[in-house]
Structure 1
Amino acid sequence: MRAVQITAFGGPEVVTVREVPDPEPGPGQILIDVDRCGVNFADTLLRENAYLAGATLPLIPGIEVVGRTRDGRRVAALIEHGGYAERAAISRDGAFPVPGDLDDTAALALLAQGLTAWWLINRTTSVQPGESVVVHAAAGGVGSLAVQLAKISGAGRVIATASTPAKRDLALSLGADAAVDPGAGDLTKALIEANEGRPVDAVLEMIGGPVTGRSIAALAPFGRLAFYGMAGQVEPDPVSPRALQRTSATVSGFWLANALQRPQVLRAAYTEMAALVARGRLRVIHGGDHPMSEVRRAHEAMSARRTTGKLVLDPRT
C-alpha cells in the first residue's frame, strides 16, 4: 500500500510517500480502508522527535483516520500512528461510527481536535454558565471548535486570540465576543480589557513562552488555565505556587492520550459533537484537502502556522 514513512527525523523534507506492507491487525484490532487522514500540529513535532511520546523509526505518522471496514461500516478512529496510509489497523472498541451526514473532514476534526476542545471545556476547566473563557490560537483546529463549544456550554464571554486580522475575524464569525492579538505589548491588560475590565475565569493555552504567564496573570479568583500544547516551542516561565495561592488559581495540563483510557466518555462526546454539526450548531472549518503526494506542503503550512481549521490528506492520490 501507499503510505507516508519517516526514516529520519527532521523538517518537512523527511516525509516521503513509499510502498510499504499492509498493517497486520493485532488482538482486538480491525483493518480499514482509509478515505482521509487528519494532519495535526503534533505530527510536525513527532516528525522532529519533539513530541511528548517518544518515536521509533521507521514510522508512519498520523493519529486520525476515517474510512470503511471490510464489511462496509463507516468509522473514524484515533490511533497511535499509521494514519498517513491507504489502510490502517484500528481498535475495534475504539472505532466511532460516523453518521452519513458528516463529511470526512468533519469526521476527522471531531477526533483529536474536537475531543480535546470538548474535554478542555467540559472537564479540565469545567466552564460554568456565565463564565468568561480565553481561547488562544482560536483559528486553529482545536481553537475554532473550542470557541463554539464554550458558547454552547453557556460561557458568558469568549475572548479569542489569533496572530492575524483574518484569523481574528474568523474567530469572531464563530461566536467569539472579542478577538485579541497575542503579540500585544501587554497581553494581560489586553485580555482583561477584552473581558470588559474584569479578570477572566478560564484560559485554554497552547502557545507557551510568555503567553502562558501573562494569561495566568489575567485570571480571576478561582480562575483556571489549561495547558495543552506548546506551538511556539518555547517553555513558559516557571509558575509560582504563591502567586497561584493569592487568587486561588489552578493551572493544569491536558493530553488527549490520557483520555483514551475513558473510551465511553470519548464516544459520548464524539456523538454529541456530531449531532451538533448535523444541526448546524457546530461549524467545522475545512482547512485544506491535500493529496497524500503533497504531504510536505501540508507540513510546511502547519509548521509555519499558516493554517486554519482542519487539514486532511487523501491517501488514494
Structure 2
Amino acid sequence: MRAVQITRFGGPEVMDIVDLPDPVPGPGQQLYKVSAAGVNFADTHQTEDSYLAPQQLPLIPGAEFVGTPAGGGDRVVGLLDGGGYAQRVAANTRLTWPVPEGVSDEQALALVLQGTTAWHLLKTSSHMAQGESVVVIAGAGGVGSLAVQLAKHWGAGRVIATASSAEKRALAEELGAHATVDPALAEDDPKTFTAALREANGGKRVDIVLEMTGGNVFDGSLSALAPFGRLVAYGMAGRAAPAQVVVPALMGTSRAVIGFWLAHCMTRPQMMDDAMTDLLQLTASGVLKPVVGGRYPLTAVREAHQDLLARRTTGKLVLDPAR
C-alpha cells in the first residue's frame, strides 16, 4: 500500500510517500480500505514530536479515516492511534461508526475527532448551560466552526468567535457567532484582548472560553472570565510557552481552568458513541453543517500541512489516498 511515513522529526518536509505492507489487524481490529483520511492540527505536532503523547519512529501519521472493510461492506468513519495517512488501516471496530446516507466523507471526518472534541468541550468539560456566553478561539477552524454551531444550537446566550482574517470572521458569523474578535489584539498585550472579548459580550465578562492557542490569547481569555467562568484548554497551536495558572488568582475570582484531551474519551468508547451518534444525526438532518476545506492528494501531504500551519485553511482538510 502507499502511505506517508516519518523517519525523522521536523516540519512538513519530513513526510515521505512510501510503499509499505498492508497493516495486520490485531485483536478486535479489522482491515479497511481508506477512501479519505483526515488532517488535524495535532498531526503537525506529531511530525515534530511536540504533542502530549511521545512519538516513536518510524510512524505513519493520521488519526481518522473513512473507508470500507477490505472484504466488502458499508462505509464507516473511524478513529485510530496512528496510521491514517495510508491506503489501508487496521482499526478497532469499537471506534468506528456507520456513515449515514447524505453525509459525505469530508463531513464524517470533520465529526470524528474535531466534532467530538467540540461536543465534549461544551457538554462534558465546560457543562455549558442555556443562556451562557461562549467564546470560541479559532472559530473558523475545524473544532471551532463546529463548536460555534453547537453552542448556538444548544442555547448559548451569546457566541463570540475569534478568527485571524476578515473572511474567517465572516464565516464564523455565518455559522452563528453573534460577534467576532481578531486574536491579533493579544499579540502585544493580553489586556487589549480581554477588553475586546468583554466589549463583544456587551461589556460583560464571559462564562466559557474554548482555548487552543496559548500565550497571550490564553492569558487574555482567562482574564475575561466572569465569576464561575470556565476556560477549557484543548490545544497549543501558538507553540507559545505553557501558561502559568496561579491558584490564589483562581480562588479570588472563582474561575476554573480545565484541560481536555480527546484520547481519554477514546478509552471510554461510550463517550465517543454518545457524541458521534448525536453529531451524525445533526449532520444528516442538516442542523449541523461541517465546514469542508481542501481535499489534497496523498502525494501533496506536505502542502496540506504547510497550508494548515500558515492558517490558510478553514474547516476540514482531507487526503485522498487514491491520488
SS in 1 for 2:76: strand
- Determine which of 300, 314, 321 is the counterpart of 1:308: 314
**Superposition RMSD on alpha carbons, in Å?**
0.9
Output the TM-score relative to the length of structure 2.
Answer: 0.96
Letter in 2 for 1:116: T
- Determine which of 234, 237, 252 is the counterpart of 2:243: 237
Output the TM-score relative to the length of structure 1.
Answer: 0.98
SS in 1 for 2:138: coil
What are the equivalent positions in structure 2 for 1:173-252 lying under 5 Å apart?
173-184=174-185, 186-252=192-258
- Preserved CA contact (<8 Å) 1:211 1:236: no
In the aligned structure 1, how far is the partner of 2:243 from the partner of 2:280? 38
Task: Specify the alignment match of 2:126 in structure 1.
Answer: 125
Identity rate of aligned residues, in percent? 56
| Structure 2 portions without partners, runs of 5+ | none
SS in 1 for 2:94: coil
Extract structure 1 runs of 4+ deviating beyond 6 A.
none
Letter in 2 for 1:58: P
Aligned residues: 317
What are the equivalent positions in structure 2 for 1:40-189 lying under 5 Å apart?
40-69=40-69, 70-184=71-185, 186-189=192-195
In the aligned structure 2, how far is the partner of 1:71 from the partner of 1:104? 17
Letter in 2 for 1:248: S
What per-residue deviation string (whole Å, max 9, x for no partner) do you get for residues 225-267 of structure 1?
0000010000243111111112211101000001112211211
Letter in 1 for 2:93: R
SS in 2 for 1:197: coil
What per-residue deviation string (whole Å, max 9, x for no partner) do you get for residues 197-250 of structure 1?
110000000010011111111000100000000100002431111111122111
Deviation at 1:271, TM superposition (A): 1.5
- Determine which of 290, 293, 299 is the counterpart of 1:293: 299
SS in 2 for 1:258: helix
Deviation at 1:268, TM superposition (A): 2.1
- Preserved CA contact (<8 Å) 1:213 1:236: no
Deviation at 1:71, TM superposition (A): 3.1
In the aligned structure 2, how far is the partner of 1:237 from the partner of 1:32? 41
What are the equivalent positions in structure 2 for 1:6-17 lying under 5 Å apart?
6-17=6-17
Letter in 2 for 1:147: V
SS in 2 for 1:187: helix
Task: Specify the alignment match of 2:283 in structure 1.
Answer: 277
In the aligned structure 1, how far is the partner of 2:207 from the partner of 2:67? 40
Deviation at 1:129, TM superposition (A): 0.3
Deviation at 1:270, TM superposition (A): 0.8
- Preserved CA contact (<8 Å) 2:68 2:74: yes
Deviates more, 1:138-147 or 1:278-287: 278-287
Quick check: 1:26 aligned with 2:44? Answer: no
Letter in 1 for 2:257: V
Deviation at 1:2, TM superposition (A): 0.4
Letter in 2 for 1:36: A
Letter in 2 for 1:66: V
In the aligned structure 1, how far is the partner of 2:272 from the partner of 2:151? 18
